[in-house]
Amino acid sequence: MRLLTLLDRIVATVAGSALAISTTMLLLNVANRYIIQGWLREWAQDGVMTGVYQFLSGYISPLSAMADEVPGLLLVWIAYLGAYLAMRDKGHINFEMLVEKLPESLARWVTRINAGMIVAFLGVLLYQSVRMIMVDGETEIETAEVAQGWFMAVLPIFSVLMMIAIVDKIIRGRNL
């Protein structure tokens, strides 16, 4: 198995896990809002299922408090890792008409210049995202005792992954 294929599988697993966690947290939030704090609360006030309401309210409600913020932050991981996977699978929209009309040697140079500019941008993103994490990464999100740096970490990871994908495409002689 090629090293990049293994890397792609790891990235897909992380993105899929983030999606599963995000979905689960959203479902917990909806269940808490409408079932536990809605129906069960009304029934508990009427003296029905009081113990069930107290148990679920004590354990599910605190989890659902962070279900507003964490899924949104996990969406950033899903989006960036998905962008990398799309790049690897040629899933991005390309406008190659101009490059295809150029002579082959010039088309290669245009592709390399384009890749160079993208890699330069990703290098700046990598540098600035590491700086941002060093400055603000230890600050905890409002609803949970989780440092923002864990969510910001996707930016440098994404930068490096995209650089790897671009270099791989250039080495293999493929268009971006």
pLDDT of residue 61: 67
Count of structural domains within the chain: 1
With beta carbons less than 8 A apart as the criterion, state whether 174 and 4 touch: no
pLDDT of residue 83: 94
Lowest pLDDT segment from 19-23, 50-54, 59-63, 66-70 = 59-63
What range does the domain containing 23 cover?
3-172
With beta carbons less than 8 A apart as the criterion, state whether 25 and 71 touch: yes
**What is the tally of helices (H) and strands (E) in the chain?**
8, 0
pLDDT of residue 65: 66
Which of 72, 61, 81 minimizes the C-alpha distance to 12? 81
pLDDT of residue 166: 92
Distance of CA 114 to the CA centre of its chain: 25
SS3 content of the chain, % helix, strand, coil (to 5): 80, 0, 20
With beta carbons less than 8 A apart as the criterion, state whether 42 and 52 touch: no
pLDDT of residue 172: 83
Alpha carbons 171 and 115: distance in angstroms, whole number:
11
φ, ψ for residue 140, nearest 5 deg: -85, 150
Share of the chain above pLDDT 70, in %: 93
pLDDT of residue 125: 97
- The confidence band for 127, taking pLDDT boundaries of 50, 70 and 90, is very high
- The confidence band for 92, taking pLDDT boundaries of 50, 70 and 90, is confident
- pLDDT (average), residues 168-176: 78
